[in-house]
Structure 1
Amino acid sequence: MVHRPRANLQELAKAVGVSKATLYRFCPTREALIERLLDEATVTVGRAIANCNLEQAPVDTAFKALIAGFLESKELTQFLIFHFRPEFLNESNPDRRWLDIQKTCDDFFLRCQQEGMLRIDISAVALNEIFFGIATSLVESESRGRVPRAGMAELIERMFLQGAGA
């Protein structure tokens, strides 16, 4: 769905190695499939963030875990890059999962500042956006063959910390 965004259900079924009937039973429309994948991506990202223990782990350990968790599900990351909608972060949205994820990460970057890992002249919110901007850009570039997968975690860490490090 990322590399062939206009693919029909038949083409999508073939790409994942199932029959169209099987895919149709799972999700009868393309829109239903997108919504189901968005839900799965949201759950996966939330679980990855929770597993990093951003609230209590030492900040350097949690930061490395955040990068690793982000890279573990790069296919879903690519899907989210393509299908993420601004309303996911709207305060009036009844589904608060993305707002909770965003707040957890904002709070983590604030903690990194308070503990001297990150500079304080850039807001924690901006650091969160910069971090995920770097990470998503590199994942997307890797999918196009421009950046190798090997060493990606170290590259993200180095590029972020050298610009934002205290």
Structure 2
Amino acid sequence: MTRRPEPHDPTAERLLDAAAQVFTERGGTAGMAEVAAAAGVGRATLYRYFPNRAALLRGLVHAASEEVERRIADADIDNVDVREGLSRLCRGFMAAGSRYGFLAAVEDQPEKGPDLHRRLGDPVRALLERGVAEGVLRDDLPVETLFALFTGLLTQAVRLAARDGLGPERAAAAVIALFLDGAALRG
């Protein structure tokens, strides 16, 4: 019988931490045996928690989304100006991406589902809407277009940071500079 990890199960967390490290260092094609070795457990233990690669990837997507949600909440974007809010969001996404960026390159990645997209995307959309309403961001593009451009820059920056060693702070600064210079209201 496969063991289902309990929330905040220390062994499951150790396995996910090891998997994130192994996949970041060796790429998304690293094997389950490498993950078990990095966690300091036998393969049987890994398979009790994550019976196959797809289950491990689902666990990693869940861990990544939880981290991004925490970082969004910690950014306190409702209580700062739009530019600072975007900077905080970007730094949070880049920090999480430095740990889980390999997921963007995994071809057999599990479905994230609309609920995850909503939980991660709604705060970004709300901040962009506020930026347009306050005249900080241009109003000649729909918010959905601004959202697609901003999140597209974020996604590519995570990939570049992981591949080129750009680092989360430099990647975040580049995204904000590019996005705001192109999205700032022209006066």
TM-score by length of 2: 0.72
Change (3 A) 1:42 1:80: farther
Instruction: Map 1:81-120 onto structure 2 (within 5 A).
Output: 82=106, 83=109, 85=111, 88-89=113-114, 96-120=115-139
Moved over 4 A (4+): none
Change (3 A) 1:110 1:84: farther
Q: 1:66 Cα deviation (Å)?
A: 0.6
Tell me which moved more, 50-59 or 135-144: 50-59
Q: Distance in 2 between matches of 1:7 and 1:78?
A: 11
Change (3 A) 1:156 1:38: same
TM-score by length of 1: 0.80
Q: How many residues are paired up?
A: 157
Q: Distance in 2 between matches of 1:137 and 1:27?
A: 29
Counterpart of 1:65 in structure 2 is 88
Change (3 A) 1:84 1:135: farther
SS in 2 for 1:7: coil
Counterpart of 1:42 in structure 2 is 65
Could you tell me whether the CA contact under 8 Å between 1:68 and 1:153 is conserved in 2?
yes
1:67-123 deviations in Å (ceiling 9; x for gaps): 1111211222432563364x623xxxxxx2321322221111110111122111111
Aligned: 1:54 with 2:77: yes
Q: 1:9 Cα deviation (Å)?
A: 1.3
Unpaired runs of at least 5, structure 2: 1-22
CA RMSD of aligned residues (A): 2.3
Q: Which amino acid aligns with 2:59?
A: R
The structure where helix makes up a greater share of residues is 2
